[in-house]
Amino acid sequence: MTGHVVIAPDKFRGSLTSPEVAAHVAAGLGDVPVVPLPVADGGDGTVDAVVASGFTRVETEVTGPDGTPVPAAYAVRDEPGGRVAVIELAEASGLRRLQRGLAPLTATSRGTGELIAHAVRHGAARIVLGLGGSACTDGGAGMAQALGVRLLDAGGNELPPGGAALRDLHTIDASDRLRGFEVVVASDVDNPLLGPYGAAAVYGPQKGASPGDVAVLEAGLARLAAVAAHTHGLPGAAEHDGPVGAMGVAGREGAGAAGGVGFGALVFLGAEIRPGIGYLLDLVDFDRHVAGARLVITGEGAIDEQTLRGKAPVGVAAAAAGHGVPVVAVCGRRTVGDDELKKAGIEAAYALTDIEPDVARCVAEAGPLLERLARRIAAEHLTRR
């Protein structure tokens, strides 16, 4: 197809999924030929996005972040190199899965490990792990335990869930760890595991951690990194630059993602961290779909300074620029100016608040309002081309 419009938005958090955003924009464009291609940057909504592009949804039940069973889904596709499973941490271990309120000290990533194990048992050779929206700050300890790693205290007892318990970690036994698959972490978070920009300090308060809780979680994560640095048999521990093994991994960009699950994936699973939106665009074959397009429409709920740091719309714009295709964006609201957007490769941004100043109505009526914006985009960017 040539002369078409590629619609490649991320979700509007709390309002519309990325496939729903794409569908409303397509409806507003009328009879213009379109290719809906919902995207994500590895956070919540990633599974929905890849399912919309042809992956198959797999549903199961796993341990939620507070220990309560929760429904969760991942996506699979068979490729020449083997089956690929896209797993979204938020599906199993996200804030939205908490049943009993915030649990900053005890929330676990165990359910994410259970999703990985389920996918591997059903033939997955490569796991794409999207990080974001985490309820836990456990350094990926729960994920590792679900995959057969034993985290033991000085008495040889298995540690209970959560980041606080890691302060009592004495030994890591990875001898029975599930093997036979590779892991790619899709994340745009560049925080290290520890320190003032680390998982506990930056993201702990968002999960309900008080200043005292942050200190407890920081101590637990530091203990995990120290013990992992002296544990043999952990993939990746000796493969990265740094003072000693896993302590070096703790300082890597992305190790602090999702409450330190980035660190757990690096050390326990030998994962590779890739920029979230770039890797997901490869998965949905964006380059093939954008070839010959006349316009790309991207977007997300809020276009702000965080967007400019490499979130989905900027990643889409960068990929489209390689094909010489112009990009515009839709959003709920925006707080950055036209000049900043153009520097990021986005010609113009259209916000719901431009046509409906009542934010509550924007959330409740996002679909119809998006269709109105799409009609404006068609008039201003398609009829003249």
pLDDT tens readout for residues 269-301: 999 998 889 889 999 999 999 999 999 999 999
Return the CATH fold of 5-39+291-382. Answer: Rossmann fold (3.40.50)
pLDDT score recorded for residue 383: 82
Residue 385 has pLDDT above 80, yes or no: no
pLDDT score recorded for residue 189: 84
What CA–CA distance (Å, rounded) separates 260 from 265? 9
Question: Domain limits of the chain?
Answer: 5-39+291-382, 46-276
CATH of 46-276, one of 3.30.70.1900, 3.40.50.1100, 3.20.20.80, 3.90.1510.10: 3.90.1510.10
pLDDT score recorded for residue 65: 97
When pLDDT is averaged across residues 67-93 and rounded to a whole number, the result is: 96
Q: Which amino acid is at 8?
A: A
pLDDT score recorded for residue 11: 94
Q: Which amino acid is at 102?
A: L
Smallest CA-to-CA distance from 302 within 6, 68, 9 is with 9
What CA–CA distance (Å, rounded) separates 312 from 87? 18
Q: Where are the beta strands (DSSP E) in 270-360?
A: 272-274, 295-303, 327-334, 348-351
Per-residue confidence band for 161, with pLDDT thresholds at 50, 70 and 90 = very high
Per-residue confidence band for 364, with pLDDT thresholds at 50, 70 and 90 = very high
Mean pLDDT of all residues belonging to the chain: 92
For 235, phi then psi, to 5°, come to -60, 140
pLDDT tens readout for residues 338-353: 999 999 999 999 999 9
pLDDT score recorded for residue 229: 86
Smallest CA-to-CA distance from 218 within 139, 142, 152, 161 is with 139
Helices 312-321/276-283 angle, 10° precision = 60
**151 and 108 in contact (C-beta within 8 Å)?**
no
What CA–CA distance (Å, rounded) separates 17 from 44? 10
Instruction: Calculate what percentage of the chain has a pLDDT beyond 90.
Output: 83
**382 and 30 in contact (C-beta within 8 Å)?**
no
DSSP letter string over 188-220? -----SSSTTSIIIIIGGGGT--HHHHHHHHHH
For the chain, what's the residue count?
Answer: 385
Query: Locate tokens 């070096």: which residue?
Result: 248
pLDDT tens readout for residues 99-123: 989 999 999 999 999 999 999 999 9
pTM: 0.90
Per-residue confidence band for 187, with pLDDT thresholds at 50, 70 and 90 = confident
